[in-house]
Amino acid sequence: MTTSATIEGLIPGNYYVLFVSSVGAVPGNSVNVWTYTKPEIVENLQVVNVTNTSVSLKWEKPNGNASRYLIKRADNAVFRKIVFITSVTIGDLLPGYNYTFMISALVDNSVEGEMKLIYAYTKPGAVKNLTPTNINSKSITLSWKPPDGVASAYQIQISGNLSSTNYTSLNTNYTIGGLSPGIVYRIVVSALVSTPYIQGEGTETVVKTNSHGLILRLNYLSSDVNSRTLIINKINDILKEQFPNQNVTAT
């Protein structure tokens, strides 16, 4: 005689009362069993927003029944959060970190369905102490300190002279070349994490490149025409090098 049975075709997360009795038993001499089926796995779990200290998730209700949802973190065995809706914001996180979240449906506050995992980076923090350390007529060198938390790279955005360009650096300093003299440039440095990159809040500075300055002191003592020509040619070579885009000549 078999003393076990599997009942199939039930609804996930549903409450059932089962009556068990022997064949031919006196009516009313059955044993009653109350139980829930496990809820199904949640559907369409996705990240909807991240900040440098929080991650917001949403999902869809699973097939069958689910009365609430349990959220766990892989990096923190103590963390447990129960919500009654299909969305959650998890706060008190560190900037620039990769987190693994696990969501499962619950019924009766204790019967847990299969967990669904999702990975999400928080945004990195803002870089600190952004400082121009060297400025000349054609380049600007910058340095900064890393943000709180984690940063794997940095984006440097420079705009001015009717153009905008982005650069990427793995270090906490960068030299931007190919600039124009005497122009005011707006520079924004942001920390990056992950691939493709997630960008943190930018830190801004405004810098003006140096204008060209040229001082020539000549003591011309010779009346020789050839010497005079050689001197003027040399001056024009210097002017051409220093002012490549301007029509400046000595005669």
What's the CATH superfamily of 43-121? Immunoglobulins (2.60.40.10)
Residue 24: per-residue pLDDT:
66
Residue 3: per-residue pLDDT:
81
pLDDT at 5 over 70: yes
Domains 43-121 and 128-208 share a fold: yes
Tell whether domain 128-208 is in CATH 2.60.40.10: yes
Cis before residue 196, ω within 30 degrees of 0?
Answer: yes
Where does the pLDDT of residue 251 fall: very low under 50, low under 70, confident under 90, or very high at 90 and above?
Answer: low
13 in Cβ contact with 105 (< 8 Å)? yes
55 backbone dihedrals φ, ψ, rounded to 5°: -135, 130
Per-residue model confidence as pLDDT tens digits over 119-176:
999 999 999 999 999 998 899 999 999 999 999 999 999 999 888 999 999 999 999 9
Return the minimum-mean-pLDDT range out of 142-151, 176-185, 203-212, 239-248: 239-248
Distance CA 76, CA 41 (A): 22
Note the pTM of the prediction, 2 decimals: 0.76
Mean pLDDT of 181-203: 94
Which residues touch 228 (CB under 8 Å, ≥6 apart)?
220, 222
pLDDT at 14 over 70: yes
Domain boundaries, the chain: 43-121, 128-208, 214-251
Residue 85: per-residue pLDDT:
97
Mean pLDDT of 27-54: 91
Burial 112-144 (b: 16+ CB within 10 A, else e): ebeebeeebbbbbbbbeebeeeebeeeebebeb
Where does the pLDDT of residue 237 fall: very low under 50, low under 70, confident under 90, or very high at 90 and above?
Answer: confident
Number of Cβ atoms within 10 Å of the Cβ of 96: 24
- The residue type found at 231 is I
Check residue 74 and give left, alpha or beta (phi > 0: left; psi -120 to 50: alpha): alpha
Distance CA 132, CA 175 (A): 10
Per-residue model confidence as pLDDT tens digits over 66-117:
999 999 999 999 999 999 999 999 999 999 999 999 999 999 888 999 999 9
Q: Residue 155: which of 136, 168, 141 has the closest Cα? A: 168
Mean pLDDT (the chain, rounded): 89
Where does the pLDDT of residue 220 fall: very low under 50, low under 70, confident under 90, or very high at 90 and above?
Answer: low
pLDDT above 70: percentage of residues in the chain: 88
